[in-house]
Every structure is written in structure tokens, then in C-alpha cells.
Amino acid sequence: MRGMKRRHAIAALSLPALALPAYVRHAPAADVPRFGLGIASGHPQPQGMVLWTRLTGEQLPDSVDVTWELAEDEAFQRIAARGTERAIADDAHTVHAEPAGLLPDRVHHYRFTALGQRSAAGRTRTAPAPGARVGRLDFAIASCQRYDVGHYAAWRHLAAQELDLVLFLGDYIYEYASSPLALRAHEGGVTLTLDDYRRRYAQYKSDPALQAAHAACPWLVVWDDHEVDNDYAALQGQNLQPDFGTRRSAAYRAWWEHMPVAKALRPLAVAGGSMRIHGSLDWGRLARIHLLDDRQYRDVQACPRPGRGGSNTVPLADCAALADPRRTLLGADQERWLAGNWALDRPWNLLAQQTLMTRFAWADPARGASYWTDGWDGYPAARQRLLGTVAERRVPGVVVLGGDVHAHYVADLKADFDDPRAPIIATEFCGTSISSLGLAQERVDAARGFNPHVHWARADQRGAMRFRLDDQTLDAQLLVVDNARDPMSSIGTQARFSVAARQPGALPG
Ligand SMILES: [Fe+2]
């Protein structure tokens, strides 16, 4: 084990953020790794996708031409598209290339060249044409990859599976400073400025398993709170900092720079500036994937602790604001957009969002059932509106996918969680963290009796969820690593569930 950690540490020495010895600084440019943060692809469309990289190494000119190639074969003999992008210092030398005019539903291979060096090659694909009959979709959901408390063995295993998509549901980085006891400490303190966030992304992206997962298939990405600040809500930070809008715009800018998302999303450096990341993608006639943003437009959390913002855990009786029907998690515009975006002509609607949607009452020995105000339990009227629309319009195959809470949850979503006979409207799979620590399992177990609609709740293991979807069935595999502190950990299956098309609700096995 010690040997593995040492090898990993040596690999990380090529990072630009580390102080390099003088002989490295003066080495010829060709010896400096220029693709030290890997490559990525994302947001596939029927005719294209986004290809991403960020140039590394010292003495980068302000502007560097980066060529990219996209081929139908691994040997790059049959080139489908190629082009040149300019990587500029203003964008941290990141590249967002957008090949167009490709054939739908095809695997492609891509690579970059710059400053006399060629990147590793990645595998990506186009989405099926919107009207195409599609046999199946293989994908994974993942979230919460706090670097200083764990390794990314889960990514190493996911990279080896031939997935069509990874849905990354938030907490790509964590903004914290590390404790002196950290497994692999964050460089620098709490991230506040654009430079801080850029350095943090660079450190995370130095991880070889994360690079492999990006290179293996295209990702759809949304953010949660830690890409900016724990528990932030719209323009309110958790400590009610007066300059939060400036910090948020730096964080959003760095997120855009480092994610394989459209070039057109590039935000202006305006304090409090917004950035639309919600949208949807059709996987042929099989599924519509809706991507939501539950951070940027939400009302602030109800009933916070005195003198601060962010989350709390409170009984309903102590918090009248929870019952306020005007409060929203998505914001009025996004709520309206989603209500009009459900696919009624496809068997599945996958709702990729950040956190746990099901009602989950916590057992408080003194005060009875209590609710965590940062998740959907803090916005019960908004949840009711969303599920109400699904029920009323008979939206087919709604499967809610989430992360954030560092536990594998599988639940039935109901119109009334207190009525055992209330109909099941949708099914929820909320995946555990890649590495971030979870709550004590005893606390989760103590709450199970309050929540009979929850089929599975395990906070004690790290991992991801893998899905296979066809027009009849969704199969879910709850993956967990044996030891998230070991980069070479094995992986296993904690549980399996399935959902039948036209029959909401999770079935074991
Ligand atoms: Fe998290």
C-alpha cells in the first residue's frame, strides 16, 4: 500500500501548481507535460459533443493553438472531424472544442496536439437521433468526490466499463482547506478567488483515475454547492458573507473553464452573474434526460441557525416557513421550464438533479420527526408541485437521480408520504459519494421506521450507481468500493433494484 501511495505522489509532481525545482523550470518545453490534467468530453448531441482539455506547464504563451482530431477508429485512420482552438490565459488555457456534422449514435475517439505534444486519446460518442429507436442506454451517476478524504477507486472501475454516459450530479471539487490529518491535503486554503478555484480544479484533475473516467465516455455535468460554497442558496453564502456574489462568479467561471460544457456558456466575470446550466437531452426515443440546477435560483433555506445561512434540521412545528407554498428550490422559471419539458412520448424521463428528493424524516429523540432544510425536504411545496405535475400529466417512467447526501438511497416517490396507500408517482435513486464521508449508519437506521417508502439507505460506503435502461426495464446496480482510502480498492455490488416501464416503484433484485 505504501508503495502505491508513493507512486501516486510522484505522478502528481508534474502538476503546475506545485513549486518545481529549478532544473525542471528551465527544462526544454517539450519535457513539460502539456496535457497534465487529462482530456474530457461531454454533453453529446446527435451531431457533436464538447471536447475539453487544459494546457499545463510553466511558461505557457498567452495564446496557444491547440488542434484536435476526432476519428471513427482508435488508430485515427478514419478522421471524422478536426480543427484548431485557441487556448488563452484568460480561460486558464482551457479548450472547449465543438465538432459538428457527425453521424448520430456513434463511438468516436479524440485527441489534442499542442506545443509539440499529443494528448492521450479519449473515447466519446454522439447521441442517437431524436427519433431513433434505441435498444439501450448504459450510464452511471456519480457525485461528491472530496479529494482530501479519499481516493477515486470508484472512478477507476467505472472507467473500465463501456458506458454511454456518466451523469455527474455535483460536488466535483470541495472549497475547504484541509485538516492536517487529511489523506491527501488540498493545496491552499478555502477557495475564494478565480485563481484559488483554478488551482483546486487542477489538483482534482491531476488524479489518474478521474482522468481515466473522463477519457472513457462523455459526461453530463451539473453542479451542487461545493463548487462554490457549502449550503449556498442563490446569492447567499452559508456565512452570509457580504461579497458572496464576487466569489460565486469566480467559482462559476472556473467551473465553466474545467467542465466539458458548451463554449457558449462562458460566463462574464460579473459579480452575481448567472449561468444557465439546466437543459435536457434526448436519447433517441428511449429517454429524455432533464438536467436541473437546484442551487442558483433557490429560495434561501428555511429556519437556519441564528446568525447564519445554510441548512438546519428542524421539526415541522418549529418552522412555519417550510409550509410556505411560494418557496422554490428550482426558481419559478426553471420550474415552469421543467413542467413543459416532460417527454410524454418516451418510456423514460430521467431527472438528473443534485440531492435527495424523497421525504426523509429524521428521528429526533426530543422533538420527533425532523427535516433537513437544504434538500427537497426543505422545499416540500415545490416537491409537491413537481410530483403533482408528473401525476396529473401521467408522465411516463420518471426516475429521479441525485447525489449530495453521501449515501445510497432507493425510494418510491409518492403524492402523500404519510399515506401508505397513496399511489407511487416516480422512483428515486440517489447515489453515494465517490469519496466524501457519510453520516453514521446508526442515525440512518434509526430513521428507517419513519420512512417506509424508502427501500434502501446506506451511508457507510462510497461508490456510484450504474444503470442499464431499455424500453421495458431500468436495472440499477449500487456499486461500493471496499476502501475509499485505497486507490486500488476492489469494488462490489451492495444491492440491485429494477423499475418496470409504466410501473413506477423500485423492485429489489
Ligand atoms: Fe457532497
Q: What is the spatial distance between Cα 493 and Cα 483, in angstroms, rounded to a whole number? A: 14
Q: Residue 368: its pLDDT value, please? A: 80
3-state secondary structure of 80: strand
Distance, CA 288 to ligand 1 centroid (Å)? 26
Going from the C-alpha of 408 to that of each of 143, 197, 260, 385, 439, the distances in angstroms are: 11, 29, 26, 25, 12
Distance 319 CA to ligand 1 centre (A): 25
**CA 174 to ligand 1 centroid distance, Å:** 8
**How many whole angstroms from 271 Cα to the centroid of ligand 1?**
25
Q: Which of helix, strand or coil describes residue 421?
A: coil
Q: What is the pLDDT of residue 22?
A: 40
Q: Has domain 2-125 been given CATH number 2.30.30.110?
A: no
> Helical H runs in 110-258?
153-159, 194-205, 208-216, 244-258
Cβ(328)–Cβ(335) below 8 Å: yes
Between CA 48 and CA 299 the distance in angstroms is: 36
How far apart CA 272 and CA 247 sit, in angstroms, is 8
Instruction: Report CA(8)–ligand 1 centroid distance (Å).
Output: 24
Q: Which residues of 182-217 are buried (b: 16+ CB within 10 A; e: fewer)?
A: ebbebbbeebbebebbbbbbbbbbbbbbbbbbbbbb
Instruction: Give the Å distance between the CA of 175 and the centre of ligand 1.
Output: 11
What spacing in Å lies between the alpha carbon of 2 and ligand 1's midpoint? 28
Q: How many A from CA of 73 to the centre of ligand 1? A: 37
pLDDT of residue 382: 98
Assign domain 137-508 one CATH number from 3.40.50.300, 2.70.98.60, 3.60.21.70, 3.30.230.10.
Answer: 3.60.21.70
Confidence (pLDDT) at 333:
98
**Ligand 1 being an ion, which residues bring their Cβ within 5 A of it?**
144, 171, 436
C-alpha 144 – ligand 1 centre gap (Å): 4
Q: Give 113 Cα–ligand 1 centroid separation in angstroms.
A: 35
Q: How far is the CA of 355 from the centre of ligand 1 (A)?
A: 9
- Could you read off the pLDDT tens digit of each residue along the chain, which spans 509 residues? 333 333 333 333 333 333 433 433 444 455 789 999 999 999 999 999 999 999 999 889 999 999 999 999 999 999 999 999 999 999 999 999 999 999 999 999 999 999 999 999 999 999 999 999 999 999 999 999 999 999 999 999 999 999 999 999 999 999 999 999 999 999 999 999 999 999 999 999 999 999 999 999 999 999 999 999 999 999 999 999 999 999 999 999 999 999 999 999 999 867 788 999 999 999 999 999 999 999 999 999 999 999 999 999 999 999 999 999 999 999 999 999 999 999 999 999 999 999 999 999 998 777 788 999 999 999 999 999 999 999 999 999 999 999 999 999 999 999 899 888 999 999 999 999 999 999 999 999 999 999 999 999 999 999 999 999 999 999 999 999 999 999 999 999 999 999 999 999 999 99
Domain residue extents for the chain? 2-125, 137-508
